[in-house]
Amino acid sequence: MREKVIQILEDVCESDEIRDNADVDLFEAGLLDSLGTVSLLIEIEKVFGLKLGPTDITHEQVATVDNLVAFLESKGIRA
Amino acid sequence: MEIFTFFLKAIRHLQSFVSLSGLDLSEYGSYLFLGLLLLVLLPAVILGILQIRSRIYGALASVGMSVILIWATKLGMRYFVFFVVFQMALILLYDVIRRRTAGRLLYYLFLLLSLAPLLVYKFSSLTGSNLLGFLGISYLTFKTAAMIIEIYDGSISNVNGFRLFYFLVFFPTLSSGPIDRYRRFEEDTERKISRHDYLTDYLPNGIRKIIMGIGYKFVLAYLIHTFWLVTIPSAHTFLNTMNYMYAYSFYLFFDFAGYSNFAIGASYILGVKTPPNFNMPFLSLNMKDFWTRWHISLSKWFGDYLYSRLTLNFLRKKIFADKHAASYAAQIITMLTMGFWHGFTVYYILYGLYQGVLLVLTDIYERKVPFHKKHKNRFGYQIAQVIITFHLVCFGFLLFSGYFFN
Asked if A53 is an interface residue toward chain B (Cβ–Cβ < 8 A), one would say yes
Q: How far apart are CA A55 and CA A76, in angstroms?
A: 18
Is B312 in Cβ contact with A41 (below 8 Å)? yes
- What is the pLDDT at residue B22? 42
Q: Which residues of B touch A39 (CB under 8 A)?
A: 315, 323
Q: How far apart are CA B145 and CA B123, in angstroms?
A: 18
User: Residue B147 burial (CB < 10 Å; 0-12/13-18/19+)?
Assistant: buried
C-alpha distance from B155 to closest chain A C-alpha (Å)? 7
- What is the pLDDT at residue B74? 67
Any alpha helices (H) in B317-377, and if so which ranges? 323-342, 346-368, 370-375
Q: End-to-end distance of chain A based on CA atoms, in angstroms? A: 5
| Distances in whole angstroms, Cα of residue B97 to Cα of each of B69, B102, B157, B159 | 35, 8, 11, 12
* Dihedral over Cα of B245, B250, B255, B259: its sign: positive
Asked if A39 is an interface residue toward chain B (Cβ–Cβ < 8 A), one would say yes
Q: How far apart are CA B42 and CA B38, in angstroms?
A: 6
Amino acid identity for residue B167 in this structure: F
Per-residue pLDDT tens for B255-289?
Answer: 999 999 999 999 999 999 999 999 999 999 999 99
Is B155 in Cβ contact with A53 (below 8 Å)? yes
For A51, the closest chain B residue by CA position comes to B153
User: The pTM is what?
Assistant: 0.89
- What is the pLDDT at residue B15? 44
Q: How far apart are CA B118 and CA B139, in angstroms?
A: 10
Interface residue of A34, A40, A57, A59 to substitute, partner B, most B CBs within 10 Å: A34
Q: Measured between CB atoms, which of B153, B303, B307 is closest to A53?
A: B153
For B366, the closest chain A residue by CA position comes to A30
Interface residue of A12, A35, A44, A50 to substitute, partner B, most B CBs within 10 Å: A35
Among this protein's residues, is B342 annotated catalytic? yes
Q: Which residues of B touch A56 (CB under 8 A)?
A: 153, 155
Query: Domain residues of chain A, as ranges?
Result: 2-74
8 A C-beta contact, residue B19 and residue B247: no
The more confidently predicted of residues B11 and A43 is A43
Q: Return the closest-CA partner of residue B252 out of B30, B401, B390, B403.
A: B401
CB atoms within 10 A of CB B319: 12
Fold of A2-74: 1.10.1200
Q: Which residues of B touch A41 (CB under 8 A)?
A: 312
All residue ranges of chain B with pLDDT < 50 are 1, 4, 7-8, 10-23
Q: How far apart are CA B160 and CA B383, in angstroms?
A: 50
Q: How far apart are CA B338 and CA B128, in angstroms?
A: 21
- Taking an 8 Å Cβ-Cβ cutoff, which residues of chain B contact chain A? 146, 149-150, 153, 155, 181, 288, 303-305, 307-309, 311-312, 315-316, 323-324, 327
Q: Which residues of B touch A11 (CB under 8 A)?
A: none
Residues of chain A with pLDDT > 70: what percent?
99
Is B327 in Cβ contact with A53 (below 8 Å)? no
C-alpha distance from A33 to closest chain B C-alpha (Å)? 9
Q: Indicate the DSSP class of residue A68.
A: H
Which residue is catalytic, options B13, B196, B225, B342? B342
Q: How far apart are CA B80 and CA B87, in angstroms?
A: 11
Is A41 in Cβ contact with B304 (below 8 Å)? no
